[in-house]
Amino acid sequence: MLKLLGKPTSINVRKVLWLGEELALQIDHAPMQAPGDAESLRRLNPNGLVPVLIDGTAVLWESNTICRYLAARQRRHDLLPAEPLARARVEQWMDWQATDLNSAWRPAFMALVRHSPAFQDADAIDHSAAAWNRLMTVLDAQLATTGAFVTGADFTLADIVLGLSANRWRMTPMARPALPAVDAWIARLETRPGYRAHAGNGIP
């Protein structure tokens, strides 16, 4: 039995839960909210962050790595291609989500949704929102080119990780440009039970 540690509201935990539905995997999800959980978590992940996946004696952390592992474990080459160039094209968008996109949205999201006292600088919030919108227009242009999913005609891991990010963008109370290709893509994602359960579930 696979075990996943992490609170169910975490965007990175939800990536793995959505993928688990796509793979029809049984995953024992432990939210880790009891006192002492932080110490237990750090023994598994030295960064003290979730998600953490336990598969027998193997322990993995970093959400995109966990997603790659599970898709490969189940030999789902539709989600993570075996051919090197096709795989690289999926992974480049996953890496873009984890680096460029995440870095852009953090100040705006933490201020406008989480109301964090550490993120209350108005200029930083405005800059973050502008950068976030600019990067979402990059995604919109890619989706307009493919006419379907992030890397082409087929649904892949890139759509899972970016689908959650796009949901967060749409739910953050800020000015946003109209991005018709993103809207059409999200409508396609909404047909998938995993998206409805773990992305389009009212949690940003």
- The string of pLDDT tens digits covering residues 90-139 is 999 999 999 999 999 999 999 999 999 999 999 999 999 999 999 999 99
How crowded is residue 106: how many other Cβ atoms within 10 Å of its Cβ? 16
Residues 96 and 68 in one domain: no
Dig out the tokens for 165 from the structure.
Answer: 């990010």
Closest to 43 in 3D by CA, of 31, 56, 30, 52: 52
Q: How far apart are CA 66 and CA 160, in angstroms?
A: 13
Work out the pLDDT band at 55, boundaries 50, 70, 90.
Answer: very high
Residues 95 and 68 in one domain: no
- Asked if residue 78 belongs to a domain, the reply is no
Dig out the tokens for 159 from the structure.
Answer: 């759509």
Please give the residue range of the domain that contains residue 146.
84-195
CATH number at residue 64: 3.40.30.10
Q: Is the pLDDT score of 89 beyond 80? A: yes
In this structure, what DSSP letter does residue 166 have?
H
H or E stretch at 59: strand 58-61
User: pLDDT tens across 6-27, in order?
Assistant: 999 999 999 999 999 999 999 9
Buried b (16+ CB within 10 A) or exposed e, 5-17: bbeeebbbbbbbb
- Asked if residue 184 belongs to a domain, the reply is yes
Residues 91 and 130 in one domain: yes
Buried b (16+ CB within 10 A) or exposed e, 94-105: bebbbeebbebb
**Distances 20 to 8, 135, 138 between C-alpha atoms, Å:** 14, 28, 28
Residues 58 and 137 in one domain: no
Contact 55, 25 (CB under 8 A): no
Q: What is the mean pLDDT of the chain?
A: 96
Contact 68, 87 (CB under 8 A): no
- Asked if residue 134 belongs to a domain, the reply is yes
Q: How many domains does the chain have?
A: 2
**Distances 95 to 92, 109, 121 between C-alpha atoms, Å:** 5, 20, 28
Residues 17 and 93 in one domain: no
- Asked if residue 136 belongs to a domain, the reply is yes
- Indicate the SS3 state at residue 2: strand
Q: Is the pLDDT score of 36 beyond 70? A: no
In this structure, what DSSP letter does residue 30 have?
E
Residues 185 and 127 in one domain: yes
The alpha carbon of 43 is separated from its chain's Cα centroid by a whole number of angstroms, namely 24
pLDDT at 192: 98
pLDDT at 38: 82
Work out the pLDDT band at 34, boundaries 50, 70, 90.
Answer: low
8 versus 84: the higher-pLDDT residue is 84
CATH number at residue 107: 1.20.1050.10
pLDDT, mean of residues 164-193: 98
pLDDT, mean of residues 130-154: 98
